[in-house]
Chains A and B, each alone.
Chain A
Amino acid sequence: MAAPGVAATDLEVVRGKRAALFFAAVAILLGLPLWWKTTETYRAPLPYSQISGLNALQLRLMVPVTVVFTRESVPLDDQEKLPFTVVQEREIPLKYKMKIKCLFQKAYRRALEHEEAALSLGSMQEAETMLAKSQKQAEGSLTVYVISEHSSLLPQDMMSYIGPERTAVVRGIMHREALNIVGHQVIQVAQAMSLTEDVLAAALSDHLPEDKWSSDKRRPLKSSLGYEITFSLLNPDPKSHDVHWDIEGAVQRYVQPFLSALSAVGNFSVDSQILYYAVLGVNPRFDPASSSYYLAAHSLPHVINPVESRLGSSAASLYPVLNFLLYVPELAHSPLYIQDKDGAPVATNAFHSPRWGGIMIYNVDPTVYNASELPVRVEVEMVRVMEVFLAQLRLLFGIAQPQMPPKCLFSGPKSEGLTTWELDQLLWARSVENLATATTTLTSLAQLLGKISNIVIKDDVASEVYSAVAAVQKAAEELASGHLASAFIASQEAVTSSERAFFDPSLLHLLYFPDDQKFAIYIPLFLPMAVPILLSLVKIFLETRKSWKKPEKID
């Protein structure tokens, strides 16, 4: 009776063991993956390796320079070597993780018939108009004409000339090393017209470590898709001054041509307002010597704040706002002058604040007070005002005064107040800045997503990241092949996509899901399920160990 009974119990025990093991197996093999899969936060795959690769990106900025030799510019045997192409490479030393190299690709060739004809004309203007007619140059490219040593196009003491378009003229030389000498000059001219270290340093000023020049380089506005420009006339004393300004006409005449020249950089909107009883935040000091009032240079930073609360335009715009204020001082404080650090009055009577805008003080002609009673009608001389504002606008957009090589004649900008190559310079700088911004944004996004595993990454965020990475790479490629316009567009795309991914609200959805709530939800299910499984597993483990030890003892 006993033996079959024991066998049956053993069988039962084995079956129980198997059942427990099976439970554990189902729980581990089926339950856990199911739970993992269903409660997982959705994280679309991101190109992490490519993003980290962007940091080590080497930017090669290529400036295509066409060097055109006229008939008697260089010795004949040198001319016979034409055409050929030389690439000169220069590394730009910046304390930035991206390595930036500047390449000047000089394509030497002989002048064509019409170019010969144009350059043999009497004056530079005629030659330029004729040359401009014949060809259209791509953004970022330059053409340098090498003319004969004795040509009358340039004044005798000048060696080179930089025009308002993308052309320059260099005087040739009859020398054994003629090509080298001319080549050196061409590089000098091309550098002045395209990429200089200062331009790039200013563009990357936000990403570079602080140094003593940084405050000056941080003057230009950050790159953006659009800009809003507000002209405000501040009349703190309407009882004595009845100020009128023809801002509409002035904007049409002076600002609009400049902005339409800049239209490649972004969208611009211009508005104007007149504010009464708006006072500066600083009380001007009286200077008895000249019986005038003055604002010292050190007090200028305090001028803006009280005015700014009344300007009120930044609230309505997505884009950065540039403010230009024309301040007509009160009768009690006029004339009012701005003094520089040495105590001398500033000639323009204006100052600008980096990335904010400019303020000009417009003193009313004192003779009008005698003629009529208050309020005095004041017509603002818009030419004088717009001259200052346009100069400030150039500075705020980071168009610095060109640095000319020695013995170089500069024609000055055209009527828009901007030369074409200055615009190219701006595009180079903005492209590099955009690339740096997009790379930083992408890197920090990748870091953030890597660090916090709770963040949901939706497919559209991922696709924005992918397109941003692709746009960065495309922009870098286009820069390396010298296509400035498409590189700039790609860099803008990179910035917009990367910012859109970074600021996507869906990233925040589950960010603050606390851990204790998770435990509170899981414990009622997991604890009663896991405890029996674990206990029986422990029991089975102990029993098998015992049964393993027993045979050893017998042996």
Chain B
Amino acid sequence: MGLQRSEEELAGKSRKAQLIQVSKNYRSVIRACMEDMHQAAISTRDPALQGQYSTQVSILSAMELIWNLCEILFVEAATAGALLLRLLDWVRLHVCDVDSMVREVLSSESPSKHKLFWNVVDVFVLQGRMDEARHLLSKEASANPTSMNMYKILDDLMKKMPVPSLGNTQTLTELELKWQHWHEECQRYLQDGTFASNPHMESICKILLGDEDAILEKKELMTTWYHFLVTRLLYSHPTVKPMELRFYAQSSMDLFLGGENSPEPLDMILMAAFEFEMHQVIKECSIVLSNWWFVAHLTDLLDHCKLLQSHNLYFGSNMREFLLLEYASGLFSHHSLWQLGVDYFDHCPEFGRVYLELHIERIPLSTEQKALKVLRICEQRQMHEQVRSICKIMAMKALRNNRLGSALSWSIRAKDAAFATLISDRFLKDYCERGCFSDLDLIDNLGPSMLLSDRLTFLGKYREFHRLYGEKRFPEAARLLLTLMTAHIAPCSFWMTLLTDALPLLEQKEVIFSAEQTYELMRCLEDLTAGNPDKQKFQDDDIETTKVEMLRLALARNLARVIVKEGTVEGS
């Protein structure tokens, strides 16, 4: 689904606040996706698509629910006191089937006359939203002056209810003491029959006392067993410690489901979280979710909180890596998300690199830009073999399509001397056949990479010769030509062509080759012809002999002229 929109920054996360922030970021990403999905769901006409989107929204919602709980219990590791407050927030945020009902009642003309009035009050009480409950009750009180007395007492009780505070202004012991007193006070009022005439208020009082049956009666308003759990804790054990959660959780679920329904996977996941069985949470999530995103990122976060290692199982951080590798591998099959996958692999210390090496070679290189992008990534990580391989593949592709220039530049990048030689040979062959070079720009600008292979050097220099000739810088051209042969840069097969190229220089009005140079040329010619007679192509026999004769003649004539020239003393 491409849920991952933000990039993971894994460096320097040592402080809890930072981790909590990261966790919150993840959750907001999930929420953003949920919103998008929801928009898509309501805007689409296709019922099948709508169903699909709605399913996705529910899954995302469940994911956020689980993540949020994990954040509270594991990342933040809320302690007694704060724990309850966080859990209350959690419930308020996620159980919202009642929202529409609440809105309806609040926006009606006289809320206290609404048939759902008491339901809404109950909802507020169950969720510990005392102020809102009291506010509604005050409306009821003003409408029914007869119950003013009862109302005042109830209101007072609700106002006085001790709750954990975040500011550390009271210790747990203090809170417990206060709470005990308050509890007893409520008890007295109830037993005195203060609320006997108003069953609604009586039930609220019972809830305040943490009466399980009274709370359970409001099952429909709570809708889930974990809501029930939190309400129970609020009204019977507000100073609950994290490690005590598991007992309350188990009994809450049993009481709530009452044996008629069996727990769903989501319930099992949440239960595992309450029991602080992190591995269980991850395992269950892996089974149920069809995408590695959730478990990979959650595990990674927990690992950074140093929580997985403390669980005494040796594969703690191995599991993180395992999941991240899975997730990242999945990204590589996507035409653009693979780039994200690279970062993930970078952060997997054991197998990340080798996984990256394998995957990056397999990315389809449909365009040059993509190839260059991939290459940059490999070069940054010193993956020389992959660079070589990719360049080779691109060079081969270019060669097959007869794009010699492209092939050459790829083989230079691959530092593949053998291939460069091959392509240079092709260039030279093309020249022999067609009399001109293709891809002049490339050859002209080879620079130091010319030295990659001898043949390539020759190609570059030969092209330089042609350029010099074109610019009419004959002496330099002549010198270069000679060097090509005498320094053995030119392959023997090419000497004939070079000598033939010398012809026009020999025929110039001005003498270009010095005597010594002419002697060299002659020697080259003799080497060539004396060398292997059977190397000559039979069909070109006549042409070859004519060429050789012409050359000999031209060389002799040049020699004659140059001797005279060099022997002449310039006019003083």
Same complex origin of A and B: no
